[in-house]
Structure 1
Amino acid sequence: MDETTRGKPRHRRRRRTTAFAAGVPLALIAAGVAVFGAHAQPQAAAAEAPAWATATADGFASVNALGQNGTYGGRGGRIVTVRTLAELEKYATAPEPYVIVVAGTITMNPVGKEIRVASDKTIIGSGTSGHIVGGGFFLGPGVHNVIIRNLTIRDSYQGVWNDKDHDYDAIQMDGAHHVWIDHNDLRHMADGLIDVRKDSTNITVSWNELSDNNKTFGIGWTENTVTDITIHHNWIRETEQRNPSTDNAAHAHLYNNVLEDTPGTAITSSYGNYSRGKTRMVLENSYFQGVKNPVIKDATASIVQRGNVFSGTSGRNESGGTAFDPKTYYRYTLDKVADLPALLKSGAGPRSSLGTTATTTAAAAATTLTVAKDGSGQYSTVQAAVNAVPANNPSRVVIAVKPGTYRETVKVPSNKPHVTIQGTGASRKDTVIVYNNASGTPKPGGGTYGTGGSATVAVEADDFQARNLTIANDFDEKANQNISGHQAVALRTASDKVFLDSVIVEGDQDTLLLDTAAKDRLGRVYMANSYVVGNVDFIFGRATAVIDRSVITLKKRWDGTSAGYVTAPSTAAGRKGILIANSTVNGAVSDRTFYLGRPWHAGGDATLDPQTTVRNTTLSAAIRTTPWTDMSGFSWKDDRFAEYQNTGPGAGAASTDRPQLTAAQAADQEVGDWLGDWTPTAS
């Protein structure tokens, strides 16, 4: 593509969101863990169960007490996959141990229903597809050894902010013990997100995203001082109170949490961590951003603070009294406070690698081809392995590429679907596919490559996946000033159901071309846990594309200047364009020098309706205060460009030059809306 031619809603809603899953490790495929059809079916526990089915809690949930030795949930029980409320309730309330995999969106009926979970259960979402909508879970007196993990529990909100009439929690415990709540996304409920009540004890709450709610979680509601609880690595944002409120807890250990109150939103914090009654609290290495009254305590309570950071906070920040040494109960390691915002924004909440399963038949049918530069594989180049895939292959072919730098171009033609190219190194940096063609580079047979033809890796086949590797174009603009056409694509996709998981796509101008096979063809791309690096229009094309939980890195141009554009969509009318969600935009460039996007009406086609939405994303100061701009005579205001609840120094308030989605509009611009009936699942 030629560079020169190219109010404050509260977000209170209930809606059905298309579910999606991602990230089956090869180890799970090898284990042959089964996924089931429309009805839940049990599977006998395998001798080598997947790691997520045997995981155990840390913190106070790991401490032996009350006749229970740690918290391991349904480990050893049968693994069942559920998709309906009836199936979930059947297994969650059963007396036997179960590992219950929630593989889809389950809507509670009636609204506010809380399933009464029995002891010895693991309830885990399948990748990011496990959603519980309009209700949650209740753990009653004596219930123990329960893991609730990797779920999104949301939307029982009834329209009253400080709701006193609807006790609709995400997770409520009354007298339970040994419970682990881990890697969940809890939000937008009628009452609390987590309530730990009535002498519940030996609880660990870890790696959750808690947001968009009045009350986050409360602990106590009893005169007895018996509760032992660990709360670590949680991202708590846009919540007003109980972050948490800890009443009469014998031992409350809070560490490595991020509490964030974003200015300019309708939700304002009233307080952060609260030690009440006779609570003894240790609070260490946590990060407080913009929170009012970040740490408060009663005269009868204790708080010992160590290593916390307070940025833009105000009001009470208290400590005093004596507490306890958590290391006398369990081992733990503190992360550096400076690393926490990035660590939790990328790591809290549901993980694509947890709870995912693959069918035994698919595993049996999958073929693996190995590539190694040193001759230890079946092939020495990636393209040779692609060439070996039979035309119109009916099942998955995994091309496992050993660490090394592969200087070559790779094309996956349209008649070779179901291909996965996967690096086998410990890092996505270990396996690199790189070349240096540009649009103006002369072709051996005459002419030039053009923008699309410059791609290092070109994908024209449906159901393609790339994982754990780097795809780069290292064309040297400075050394090639004599060439007209510096667009240099690293990865081009022109197909449907493309899943890019844990990859780096790196270049300068036109790094990532997300296209479709034809203007009237749908082409969906889902990129997660990845990096995209570039400077000019470096995420562009007409695909329906999602960049989720990823980092977009801005880089200077060949002459050392800072100026560029992140996206250049060329979306067809009636289709969805580029969605950037839950991500970070940053880079070592000058402040206010990069646009979020501009409309590319390819070939001057006025019928196109380019779209970019950037939501729930942290923007660095590199982003201009007016983040959208025109292109080739087409005004961005005539197309579809908007933001929603972005944060960071590059974010800004709504204006005519900076449109923000309303809550209703945002409800129809979520990841599931982009993907439709496709569930990205790694294989």
Structure 2
Amino acid sequence: MRSRTRTRTLSVPLLLAGALLATAGLTTPAAATAPAPTHLTVAADGSAAFTGVQAAIDAVPAGNTSPVTITVQPGVYRETVVVPSNKPHIRLVGSTGRAADVTIVYNNSSGTPKPGGGTYGTSGSATFMADADDFEARHLTFANDFDELAHADQPNHQAVALRTRGDRIVLANIAAHGDQDTLLLDSANKDRQGRVHISDSLITGNVDFIFGRATAVITDSVIEVTRRPDGTSAGYVTAPSTAAQFPGFLITDSVITGNVGDGTYYLGRPWYAGGDATLHPQVTIRDTHLSAAVRATPWTDMSGFPWQGARFAEYHNTGPGSAPPTTNRPHLTDQQAAAHTPTTWLGGWTP
């Protein structure tokens, strides 16, 4: 008996429906976009789908509306990484719970030549750039190991380890290591607030190494001042460039320390970025242990702008680097301090 091959054809109504959908720029259910991944893994040894952090971030679809967790296995990842502004809700987590086990590091500086011409500039030198809202990083080290001594003839040694530009950024149990301009806490522009919450972390550097215009709370952390590459002991912890309508940096319940000379480090100086006199830089340091590294007059001028025009203050600090209020060392009153808390600083956002 002769077998008969049976072919399946679409009915005319279904064909017409498909044509109408195509004309309207739509797709049939069979061609619908696959859902975004919810969990990706990175491993330097090739045991996971991705061997680099940037490759995993590239795999997250733009405009994602739900959280994506990227787990990073132990290793050193020598690469630059960008979380673009159109990829919010990314959660980057070191797999062991120890920041020292996962390091993302590179060595660009502000003056490093770019392949296409020009130089990277300070912001562009960052090893890791978190430009999206609702970004979270836990149990990771971000570093910039640019060698200043080896490039002594090159100008502009600023070298950023981690840059943030988004809003509602959470950094928990991370480390940020560098020399000059280690941690750039920024926002998309002067009129947009970028809120950052940093906890249980380690930040190291020597010149303006916590800087930018973000509204940032740093709590329960260690801020370690380090010697300059040539062995000298001098520098500045913060350089805020806060817009007048926003709070700046709040450092609370932390430690500022370092194996450096006594009285050699300023707590900060005001950065009026681009000479913009409408800015109103702000730092409040409260309930924090200050080592002997801190100068007796802890604030200083920058680029012709006096520190007295900025919003610099202390409250209830302890340690050999602390001191009672003076004309050169403003302290908050108890009433003023009530408005300088993580809750008031972050304006309704609870990390």
TM-score over 0.5 for the pair: yes
Which residue is equivalent to 1:553?
224
Q: 1:517 aligns with which of 185, 188, 199?
A: 188
Secondary structure of the 2:283 match is: strand
Q: 1:624 aligns with which of 295, 311, 317?
A: 295
Matched, 1:456 2:127: yes
Give % identity: 63
Which residue is equivalent to 2:72?
401
Which residue is equivalent to 2:172?
501
Deviation at 1:482, TM superposition (A): 1.4
Are the equivalent residues in 2 in contact too, given 1:366–1:396 (CA < 8 A)?
Answer: no
Which residue is equivalent to 2:137?
466
Are the equivalent residues in 2 in contact too, given 1:490–1:507 (CA < 8 A)?
Answer: yes
Q: 1:606 aligns with which of 250, 256, 277?
A: 277
Aligned AA (1:397): V
Matched, 1:477 2:153: no
CA deviation vs aligned residue, 1:469-506 (integer Å, no higher than 9, x gap)? 10000000011111111000000001100000000011
Which residue is equivalent to 2:249?
578
Are the equivalent residues in 2 in contact too, given 1:526–1:545 (CA < 8 A)?
Answer: yes
Aligned AA (2:158): Q
2:158, 2:84 → 1: CA distance? 22
CA deviation vs aligned residue, 1:88-145 (integer Å, no higher than 9, x gap)? xxxxxxxxxxxxxxxxxxxxxxxxxxxxxxxxxxxxxxxxxxxxxxxxxxxxxxxxxx
Matched, 1:391 2:44: no
1:365, 1:406 → 2: CA distance? 25
CA deviation vs aligned residue, 1:68-106 (integer Å, no higher than 9, x gap)? xxxxxxxxxxxxxxxxxxxxxxxxxxxxxxxxxxxxxxx
Q: 1:664 aligns with which of 327, 335, 338?
A: 335
Secondary structure of the 2:140 match is: strand
Deviation at 1:425, TM superposition (A): 2.1
2:97, 2:296 → 1: CA distance? 39
Which residue is equivalent to 2:99?
428
1:372, 1:625 → 2: CA distance? 47
2:342, 2:246 → 1: CA distance? 14
Give runs of aligned pairs for residues 334-349 of structure 1, distance below 5 A: none
Which residue is equivalent to 2:81?
410
1:408, 1:669 → 2: CA distance? 38
2:160, 2:97 → 1: CA distance? 26
1:439, 1:384 → 2: CA distance? 25
Which residue is equivalent to 2:113?
442
Give runs of aligned pairs for residues 275-424 of structure 1, distance below 5 A: 367-424=38-95
CA deviation vs aligned residue, 1:512-555 (integer Å, no higher than 9, x gap)? 00000011001000000000000000000000001011000010
Q: Structure 2 vs 1, CA of residues 402 and 583 (structure 1 numbering), >3 Å: closer, same or farther?
A: same
Deviation at 1:574, TM superposition (A): 1.6
1:631, 1:397 → 2: CA distance? 41
Aligned AA (2:68): V
Which residue is equivalent to 1:567?
238
Stretches (4+) displaced over 3 A: none
Secondary structure of the 2:100 match is: coil
Deviation at 1:451, TM superposition (A): 0.1
Deviation at 1:366, TM superposition (A): 7.5
1:427, 1:391 → 2: CA distance? 30
Which residue is equivalent to 1:245?
none
Gaps of 5+ in 2: 1-34
Are the equivalent residues in 2 in contact too, given 1:515–1:543 (CA < 8 A)?
Answer: yes
Are the equivalent residues in 1 in contact too, given 2:37–2:60 (CA < 8 A)?
Answer: no
Which residue is equivalent to 2:262?
591
Secondary structure of the 2:54 match is: helix
2:334, 2:58 → 1: CA distance? 48
Are the equivalent residues in 1 in contact too, given 2:240–2:249 (CA < 8 A)?
Answer: yes
2:168, 2:70 → 1: CA distance? 18
Are the equivalent residues in 2 in contact too, given 1:365–1:396 (CA < 8 A)?
Answer: no
Which residue is equivalent to 1:57?
none
2:251, 2:169 → 1: CA distance? 16
Are the equivalent residues in 1 in contact too, given 2:266–2:294 (CA < 8 A)?
Answer: yes
CA deviation vs aligned residue, 1:272-294 (integer Å, no higher than 9, x gap)? xxxxxxxxxxxxxxxxxxxxxxx
Secondary structure of the 1:496 match is: coil
1:572, 1:674 → 2: CA distance? 14
2:326, 2:59 → 1: CA distance? 54
Which residue is equivalent to 2:307?
636
Which residue is equivalent to 1:491?
162
Are the equivalent residues in 2 in contact too, given 1:427–1:468 (CA < 8 A)?
Answer: yes
Deviation at 1:405, TM superposition (A): 0.2
* Residues paired across the two proteins, number: 317
Aligned AA (1:659): P
Deviation at 1:610, TM superposition (A): 0.2
1:622, 1:556 → 2: CA distance? 11
1:560, 1:536 → 2: CA distance? 13
Which residue is equivalent to 1:528?
199
1:488, 1:393 → 2: CA distance? 31
CA deviation vs aligned residue, 1:25-70 (integer Å, no higher than 9, x gap)? xxxxxxxxxxxxxxxxxxxxxxxxxxxxxxxxxxxxxxxxxxxxxx
Which residue is equivalent to 1:654?
325
1:386, 1:630 → 2: CA distance? 40
Deviation at 1:426, TM superposition (A): 4.4
2:292, 2:240 → 1: CA distance? 23
2:309, 2:51 → 1: CA distance? 50
Gaps of 5+ in 1: 1-363
Secondary structure of the 1:384 match is: helix
Secondary structure of the 1:406 match is: strand
2:97, 2:347 → 1: CA distance? 33
Are the equivalent residues in 2 in contact too, given 1:508–1:557 (CA < 8 A)?
Answer: yes
Are the equivalent residues in 1 in contact too, given 2:209–2:236 (CA < 8 A)?
Answer: yes
Give runs of aligned pairs for residues 84-123 of structure 1, distance below 5 A: none
CA deviation vs aligned residue, 1:616-646 (integer Å, no higher than 9, x gap)? 0000000000000001110110110000000
Deviation at 1:365, TM superposition (A): 8.9
1:653, 1:665 → 2: CA distance? 16
Q: Which is worse superposed, 613-622 or 671-680?
A: 671-680
Aligned AA (1:531): L
Aligned AA (2:255): T
Give runs of aligned pairs for residues 39-118 of structure 1, distance below 5 A: none
Which residue is equivalent to 1:152?
none
Aligned AA (2:105): V
Aligned AA (1:550): S
Are the equivalent residues in 2 in contact too, given 1:366–1:395 (CA < 8 A)?
Answer: no
Structure 1 or 2: more strand by fraction: 1
2:342, 2:84 → 1: CA distance? 28
Give runs of aligned pairs for residues 161-200 of structure 1, distance below 5 A: none
Which residue is equivalent to 1:55?
none
Secondary structure of the 1:637 match is: helix
Deviation at 1:674, TM superposition (A): 1.0
CA RMSD of aligned residues (A): 1.1
